[in-house]
Amino acid sequence: MTAESADDRPGPPLLGVFGLLLGIFLSALDGQIIGTALPTVVGDLGGLEHLAWVVTAYLLTSAAATPIWGRLGDLYGRKGAYQWAVTVFLLGSVLSGLSQDMGELIAFRALQGVGAGGLMVGALSVIGVLVPASARGRVQSVVGVLMPIAFVGGPLLGGFITDRLSWRWAFYVNLPVGLFALFAVGVGVRLEKAARARAPFDWAGVVLLTTGILGLTLVSSWGGTEYPWTSPLILGTALVAVLALAGFVRAELRAPGPLIPPALFRNRNFTVAQVLGFLTGAVMMALVGYLPQYFQLVQGASPTTGGLLLLPLMLGMIGSQLVTARLMGRPGGERRYPLLGGALALVGAALLLLLDTDTPAPAASALTAVAGIGIGLVLQSTILTSVGAVPREDMGAAMGVVTLLRSIGSSLGMAALGAVYAARTAASLESRLGPGEGAGLAGGGRLSPAALTGLPSAVRDAVGTAVTGGLHGTVAGGVALAALATAVACLARPSRAPEPQEAAAPEPAAAAN
């Protein structure tokens, strides 16, 4: 049997596979669970202007760490890399729950993201060598079920925990699940020793990629809010980011063991799919991150109810993903379904501009479904296009690129559109209530669902108007990104239907494999 291969075994070890699947579930869940708790977090710790960084810090470090964990697994062992990733993730979770101010929470969320970057890629890489080829389809089906559950359950669980316990338990809940995952993998996963990759670790690529991602995120978050776009700090940071990313591309072309193989991008459809994943990830996180603010601070919903009001968005994503998985095999799917998804996301985001302070909550909730359907179409079709566009031996690297670029898009979208939300909300509060009262609400820890109930009606009305205006600014950015995604989808090359004899020929070979 080939080293680190399990293709000749009768079946996968269920305990070990379950531990790996728990890691994938935690990674997806924690990107969503904090969304409905954010208004309460701001009310407890203050710092509305830093709200986006609670999510952005996690997404940013997770994105930067994803290729690093994958490469560490290749060099030093996949099981060990996965276990270390879970350990770092749990440490960040506990420290996040113990945070006493917004700065600490952001820093510990960044640490949590470092570990999260290795959960998905680490689990999938171990599954690839642990599970026999005959059983991988069933395991991938379970992964496909877990992801929607995490997307839907994250906001609901976050709201429920915030209502019944505390927002801090949205982080503490990871501890028992993560510890069981460590136990299950430690006991249930046994990989044969394999010859490690001989190429040296690409430290230059790590430093350049991380610097570029961080620089872009800082520019998108600070530009026009903390500092003018033409300020030396913003221009200097942008220059550093551009130079770092250019240096990263050059380093990857020369590195014997690059973090991201440049050859993947020679396929046009693969490249288009990554751009679409980047743009759609930004739209998705902008909606998931800031619609709860509207539902709780304008509609007066509790965190739990706010999570329920996001169900049409999430169910739209899940339903369209399931349908797309069945339809993508038809000729032309690489172009047709991303194009349709981009158009629906564009229309759905535009519909959210209709939300106002007096919009009925059920109607506001229902309007999110169209955007969810469009986002799901694009996300699923880009994954399937990526899988079909690369050779089997490059599949692991390709999935790392898919995860990386989608995460970068999510973090940049959350930062940039979050800066728009914070600036518009704060400006509206100050104009309606005066600089002192408005600034106190925006940054003084009083802008939370619980705190609003004790404020005068005039102040509550001002908050509703300000939050709605902030959401409109965020959604307008989502409309622009969805329009760009629709245009990019036109660049994909549709596949042609195979000839009848070609369709029938592979069956004996497939059976032999």
CATH of the domain at 381: 1.20.1250.20
439-464 residue pLDDT tens: 666 554 456 666 677 677 777 788 88
Which range of 8-17, 47-56, 412-421, 467-476 scores highest in mean pLDDT? It is 467-476
Does 194 fall in a domain?
A: no
451 to each of 447, 471, 475, how far by Cα in Å? 7, 20, 26
Interatomic CA distance for residues 136 and 337, integer angstroms: 26
Indicate if 248 and 287 belong to the same structural domain: no
Q: Compute the distance between CA of residue 85 and CA of residue 118 in angstroms, rounded to an integer.
A: 5
- Boundary-marking domain end, from 137, 161, 189: 189
Are 274 and 421 in the same domain? yes
Is 42 within 8 Å of 293 (Cβ atoms)? no
The whole-number pLDDT of residue 406 equals 80
What span, in angstroms and rounded, lies between the C-alpha atoms of 136 and 127? 8
pLDDT of residue 197: 52
Q: Tell me: do 179 and 301 sit in the same domain.
A: no
Clarify whether residues 220 and 282 are in a common domain. Answer: no
Residue 106 has pLDDT above 80, yes or no: yes
Q: Most confidently modeled of 110-119, 222-231, 345-354?
A: 345-354
User: 288 and 424 share a domain?
Assistant: yes
In a domain, 350, yes or no: yes
Domain total in the chain:
3
Q: What is the mean pLDDT of residues 115-133?
A: 72
SS3 assignment, position 298: coil
Determine phi and psi for 223, rounding to 5 degrees: -60, 125
Nearest to 292 by CA among 423, 424, 174, 154: 154
Domain shared by 121 and 176, yes or no:
yes
pLDDT digits 0-9 by tens, 375-428: 888 888 887 787 777 765 565 567 677 777 887 787 778 777 877 888 888 888
pLDDT at 511 (0 to 100): 33
Query: Looking at the domain assignment, is residue 374 inside a domain?
Result: yes
Q: Which residues contact 67 (CB under 8 A, 6 or more apart)?
A: 121, 205, 209, 259, 260, 400, 404
Same domain for 157 and 22: yes
**CA 206 → CA 259, 275, 313, distances in Å?**
8, 21, 35
Asked if residue 155 lies in contact with residue 285, where contact means CB atoms within 8 angstroms, the answer is no
pLDDT band at 437 (very low <50, low <70, confident <90, very high): low
Within a domain: 76: yes
Q: How many CA atoms lie within 13 A of 434 on its CB side?
A: 4
The verdict on 57 and 150 lying in the same domain is: yes
Q: Does residue 504 belong to any structural domain of this protein?
A: no
Contacts of 28 (CB under 8 A, 6+ apart): 120, 146, 147, 150, 151, 154
Cβ atoms of residues 310 and 364 within 8 Å = no
Looking at the structure, tell me whether residues 37 and 180 fall in a common domain: yes
426 part of a folded domain: yes
Phi, psi of 203 (to 5 degrees): -65, -35
Task: Say yes or no: 169 and 224 in one domain.
Answer: no
- Please state which of the ranges 148-152, 185-189, 207-211, 342-346 shows the lowest mean pLDDT: 148-152
Q: Does residue 352 sit within a domain?
A: yes
What values do phi and psi take at 227, rounded to 5?
-140, 150
In terms of domains, do 73 and 182 share one? yes
Segments forming the whole domain that contains residue 209: 203-256
The last residue of one of the domains, among 214, 238, 256, is 256
Q: What share of the chain is helix, strand, coil (3-state, %, to 5)?
A: 80, 0, 20
Residue 38 CA to residue 388 CA, distance in Å, equals 38
Q: What angle do the packed helices 51-76 and 203-222 form, to 10 degrees?
A: 170
Specify whether the CB–CB gap between 338 and 377 falls below 8 A.
Answer: yes
- Using the 8-state DSSP alphabet, how is residue 496 labeled? P
Give yes or no: residues 67 and 11 share one domain. Answer: yes
Q: What pTM value is reported for the model?
A: 0.70
Of the ranges 138-152, 233-247, 493-507, which is most confident? 233-247
In the block, tokens 């429920």 appear at 160
**Domain contains 118:** yes
Q: Are 478 and 418 in contact (CB under 8 A)?
A: no
